[in-house]
């Protein structure tokens, strides 16, 4: 018996010891695991980036928008996602309640983490053997949206909890809910409830019904599964008038079928897509699909309505009415139709430059532009822009139109219309029959300007140097000035005549002679008493012209490669623009763009003040602060007196010279044509007291055959088609004559003309000369005879054949690729 009791005590001792050791081991294991886990958590949290919860708004991306000059939305700058911030008071209570009901029932009762829900989810998942129930609160989801992203990992979950407590410590529940509703994803590249309402229902979020609110609230759990619509291909059997159209970007390898292309044509005829969208479909950049309601989203909506009823957010009557309410998808537009991308592309580039000037880095600039929620007020006049687009879409205005092997119409056009008094670009055409972002913009592509350069290169510089409109030059072939080059006109000659007539008839010879005299003493005997001035410094003259062009915004000049020109953008020791072929006749090395050409003409229309072309008037931050506002940065390029006098000569060009095709009644018009060798490029640049407009026509540089089947009268006609309707409701007013301009008889010319007060014309004595020219040839003697300034001559701008066989002289470079 004692033996048995001893055995029992011994067994009890062993069992008790084992149990104690087991408990101790478990405790030690728990402590060890806890220590390891705690160390791990501490390490994760230490590595977590610091956040500023009070500045949560800066973490919420918001899509920037571009507006017109009168506040009309032109385009939403969607890069990857469309988002638009809205305050909580604009979000319907039903939508707020729907989100809380399905995402975080105890939202207003717990802090960052709902431990009751955590335990419930753990038990449920343990019992079902799944991970079907989560426990993330709205605050934790906000932390994910703002800071950690969607990667699934333990580290991210721990960081979400950490950040959630940080958010809850400084933000109210209302702020947290507002931030969540603006940062959650709602499928189809849509972020936030406002963007969702506009995308799926084409309405403001404040206008959503209970049924629509429940549908939207259901998307966030699995956005692609619960999206309100799915995309399907359009078939010939579909009623195109009733479909909800979606234009989807495609890969480079994708090719639209013939059936799809025909559907696109039909959509265009119905007004469902504009000509630019049609072009993008034809060029396989987009494909049209239809939005079809997703029934799975309806199931999710009804589940949420049930939860709202259960949680007493709505009554049974409201529940049943919402369940039975039909859901109509009505997709919203993100871009104004009838406008190509070229203008907005220019806006974006200017905004980038502005942001860099404000101190943003290259990387930050791109992000700020698209997702900074900027309100960008542009200079665009939507009516003018649409009118310009419609005008150039008329193929009958373009002789010899054809489509090249890339599907691009030729010849092409670049045109800019701007306010010369402010610099604001009101409309821009970068091409016709083409669309898509980052396409070749002919409005910014430099081309040979031909004679359209003469007013801003030769005559603007000459007038500022002391020349007058009544100075006399000999308009006849030049045979002795340049050893290897004999400049000529394409048409006939006027003999001795004034600068006014040289401009009116677009004389090549006259432009060269006037250019040579810049910087010289016109009253010197060697200049007054010879057919061609003898005491001139042509190198200095070319430098003065180039400096003037640079001063009025021409950025594409190629300067001689010398130490003095070290800071110039383009330099070349052999092929540069420091010669009369480039600067008097427009045969430039690189050329000038229609944008810079329009800007360069602004001093003529704006009392001598140059205004740089601009596209952005104001930029406002998401918080309503104006971070940029355009200032008047006009600078004097010439006197207002000379601007007026030169304008009167350019009015003659339009009234009875080379630019008559641009003329229309009840508005003073001044301008200049331009034609290059071939012709390869034709221009008209003109202005009224209200607007400056440049029109360039030419084939793209990639075309094998560059010659055009047209003349400078074509861009002049297009200029008129653009400008006449724009001026119909504007007051007819004249170019204002400054007080310092007088009209008086010019001795020897036989007529009165305009002069800056106190000035007299030069070389008028030569009008009486009838002596042989310096070549003493029979032909030149005939050309030397006095010819009336009214002698009818065919302008070189009306010709399409170059008569100027240029070559390199001893001191200058001459090109044969440009005449008038």
121-169, pLDDT tens digit by residue?
Answer: 556 555 665 555 567 899 999 999 998 887 777 677 778 887 888 899 9
- Check residue 750 and give its pLDDT: 80
pTM of the model: 0.86
Span 531-540, mean pLDDT? 95
Summarize the confidence of residues 749-759 as an average pLDDT. 91
Answer for the pair 379, 425: CB distance below 8 angstroms, yes or no. Answer: yes
Q: Look at residue 425 and tell me if it is in a domain.
A: no
* Cis omega (within 30 of 0) for bond into 178: no
Distances from the Cα of 605 to the Cα of 504, 709, 734, angstroms: 18, 32, 11
Number of domains in the chain: 1
pLDDT bracket for residue 676 (50, 70, 90): very high
* Distance (Å) of CA 150 to CA 106, 141, 154, 218: 23, 10, 12, 18
What is the per-residue pLDDT across 629-650, written as a single tens digit (0 to 9) for each? 999 999 999 999 999 999 999 9
Per-residue pLDDT, 41: 57
> What is the average per-residue pLDDT within 350-355?
98
The candidate with the shortest Cα–Cα distance to 817, out of 581, 477, 516, is 581
Q: What percent of the chain has pLDDT over 70?
A: 86
Q: Is residue 307 part of a domain?
A: yes
Q: What is the CATH number of the domain that holds 164?
A: 1.10.3810.10
- 259 in Cβ contact with 203 (< 8 Å): no
DSSP 629: E
Closest by alpha carbon to 85, among 64, 55, 54, 107? 64
Q: What is the mean pLDDT of residues 5-28?
A: 64
At 34 the pLDDT is 64
Q: Where residue 79 falls among pLDDT bands split at 50, 70, 90? A: confident
Look at residue 630 in the predicted model and tell me its pLDDT.
Answer: 97
Chain segment 472-488, per-residue pLDDT in tens: 999 999 988 988 888 99
Residue 267 lies in a domain: no
The confidence band for 578, taking pLDDT boundaries of 50, 70 and 90, is: very high
Query: How confident is residue 574, by pLDDT bands cut at 50, 70 and 90?
Result: confident
Cis peptide, bond prior to residue 610, ω within 30 of zero:
no
Structural domain contains residue 301: yes
Q: What is the mean pLDDT of residues 578-595?
A: 95
DSSP state of 259: H
97 and 117 Cβ atoms separated by less than 8 Å = no
Residue 488 resides in a domain: no
Q: Which domain holds residue 92?
A: 53-61+80-228+294-324
Q: Which of 133-147, 306-320, 422-436, 529-543 has the lowest mean pLDDT?
A: 133-147
For the segment 260-274, what is each residue's pLDDT rounded down to a tens digit? 999 999 999 999 998
Asked whether residue 152 is domain-assigned, the answer is: yes
Residue 193 — φ and ψ, nearest 5°?
-70, -30
pLDDT at 811: 36
Percent of the chain with pLDDT over 90: 71
Residue 216 lies in a domain: yes
Q: Is the pLDDT of residue 37 over 60?
A: no
710/49 Cα distance (integer angstroms): 65
Element holding 212 (H helix, E strand): helix 210-217
Q: Give the mean model confidence (pLDDT) for residues 592-615.
A: 99
Question: DSSP 3-state assignment of 365?
Answer: helix
Whether 582 and 808 have beta carbons less than 8 Å apart is answered as no
pLDDT for 490: 83
What's the half-sphere exposure (Cβ side, CA atoms, 13 Å) at 275? 14
In a domain, 454, yes or no: no
d(CA 530, CA 541): 19
The overall average pLDDT reported for the chain is: 88
Pairing of β 681-687 and β 616-620: unpaired
Report the pLDDT value the prediction gives residue 702, as an integer from 0 to 100: 86
């Amino acid at each position: 018996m004692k033996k048995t009791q001893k055995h029992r005590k011994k067994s009890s001792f062993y069992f008790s010891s084992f149990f104690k050791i087991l408990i101790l081991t478990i405790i030690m294991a728990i402590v060890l695991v806890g220590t390891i886990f705690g160390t791990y958590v501490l390490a994760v949290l230490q590595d977590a980036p610091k956040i500023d919860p009070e500045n949560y708004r800066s973490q919420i991306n918001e899509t920037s928008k571009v507006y017109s000059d009168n506040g009309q939305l032109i385009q939403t700058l969607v890069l990857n996602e469309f988002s638009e911030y809205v305050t909580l008071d604009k979000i319907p209570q039903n939508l707020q309640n729907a989100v809380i009901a399905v995402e975080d029932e105890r939202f207003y009762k717990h802090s960052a983490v709902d431990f009751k829900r955590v335990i419930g989810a753990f038990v449920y998942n343990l019992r079902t053997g799944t991970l079907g129930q989560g426990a993330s609160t709205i605050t934790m989801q906000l932390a994910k949206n703002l800071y950690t992203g969607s990667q699934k990992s333990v580290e991210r979950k721990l960081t979400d909890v950490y950040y959630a407590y940080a958010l809850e410590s400084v933000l109210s529940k209302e702020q947290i809910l507002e931030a969540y509703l603006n940062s959650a994803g709602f499928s189809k590249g849509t972020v936030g409830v406002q963007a969702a309402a506009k995308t799926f229902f084409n309405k403001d979020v404040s206008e959503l019904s209970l049924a629509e609110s429940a549908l939207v609230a259901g998307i966030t759990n699995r956005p692609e599964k619960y999206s309100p619509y799915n995309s399907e291909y359009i078939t010939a059997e579909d009623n195109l008038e009733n479909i909800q159209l979606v234009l989807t970007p495609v890969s480079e390898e994708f090719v639209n079928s013939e059936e799809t292309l025909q559907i696109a044509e039909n959509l265009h005829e119905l007004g469902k897509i504009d000509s630019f969208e049609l072009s993008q479909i034809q060029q396989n950049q987009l494909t049209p699909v239809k939005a079809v309601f997703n029934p799975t989203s309806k199931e999710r909506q009804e589940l949420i309505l049930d939860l709202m009823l259960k949680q007493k957010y709505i009554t049974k009557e409201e529940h049943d009415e919402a369940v039975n309410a039909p859901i109509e998808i009505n997709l919203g537009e993100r871009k104004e139709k009838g406008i190509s991308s070229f203008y907005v592309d220019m806006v974006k580039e200017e905004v980038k430059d502005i942001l860099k000037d404000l101190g943003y880095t290259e990387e930050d600039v791109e992000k700020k532009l698209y997702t900074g929620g900027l309100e960008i007020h542009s200079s665009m006049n939507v009516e003018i822009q649409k009118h310009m687009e419609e005008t150039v879409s008329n193929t009958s205005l373009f002789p010899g139109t054809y489509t090249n092997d890339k599907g691009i119409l030729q010849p092409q056009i670049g045109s800019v219309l701007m306010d010369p008094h402010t610099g604001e670009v009101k409309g821009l055409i970068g091409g016709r029959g083409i669309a898509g972002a980052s396409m070749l913009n002919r409005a910014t592509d430099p081309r040979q300007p031909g004679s359209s350069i003469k007013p801003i290169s030769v005559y603007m510089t000459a007038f500022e140097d002391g020349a007058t409109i009544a100075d006399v030059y000999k308009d006849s072939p030049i045979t002795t000035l340049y050893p290897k080059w004999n400049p000529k006109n394409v048409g006939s000659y006027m003999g001795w005549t004034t600068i006014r007539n040289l401009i009116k008839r677009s004389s090549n010879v006259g432009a060269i002679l006037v250019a040579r005299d810049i910087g010289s003493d016109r009253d010197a005997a060697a200049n007054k008493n010879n057919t061609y001035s003898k005491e001139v410094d042509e190198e200095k003259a070319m430098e003065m012209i180039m400096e003037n062009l640079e001063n009025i915004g021409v950025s594409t000049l190629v300067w001689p490669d010398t130490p003095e020109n070290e800071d110039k953008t383009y330099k070349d020791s052999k092929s540069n623009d420091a010669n009369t072929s480039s600067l008097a006749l427009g045969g430039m090395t690189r050329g000038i763009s229609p944008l810079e050409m329009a800007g360069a003409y602004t001093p003529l229309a704006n009392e001598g003040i140059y205004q740089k072309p601009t596209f952005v008037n104001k930029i406002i931050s998401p918080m309503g602060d104006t971070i940029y506002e355009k200032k008047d940065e006009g600078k004097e390029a010439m006197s207002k007196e000379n601007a007026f006098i030169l304008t009167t000569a350019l009015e003659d060009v339009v009234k009875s010279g080379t630019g008559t095709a641009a003329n229309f009644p009840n508005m003073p018009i001044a301008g200049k044509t331009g034609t290059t060798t071939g012709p390869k490029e034709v221009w008209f640049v003109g202005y009224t007291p209200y607007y400056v407009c440049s029109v360039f026509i030419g084939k793209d540089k990639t075309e094998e055959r560059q010659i055009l089947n047209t003349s400078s009268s074509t861009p002049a006609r297009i200029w008129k088609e653009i400008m006449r309707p724009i001026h119909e409701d504007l007051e007819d007013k004249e170019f204002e004559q400054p007080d310092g301009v007088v009209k008086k008889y010019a001795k020897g010319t036989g007529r009165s003309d305009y002069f800056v007060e106190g000035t007299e014309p030069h070389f008028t004595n030569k009008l009486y000369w009838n002596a042989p020219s310096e070549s003493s040839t029979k032909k030149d003697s005939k050309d030397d005879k006095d010819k009336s300034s009214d002698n009818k001559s065919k302008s070189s701008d009306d010709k399409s054949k170059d008569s100027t066989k240029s070559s390199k002289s001893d001191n200058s470079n001459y090109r044969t690729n440009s005449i008038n």
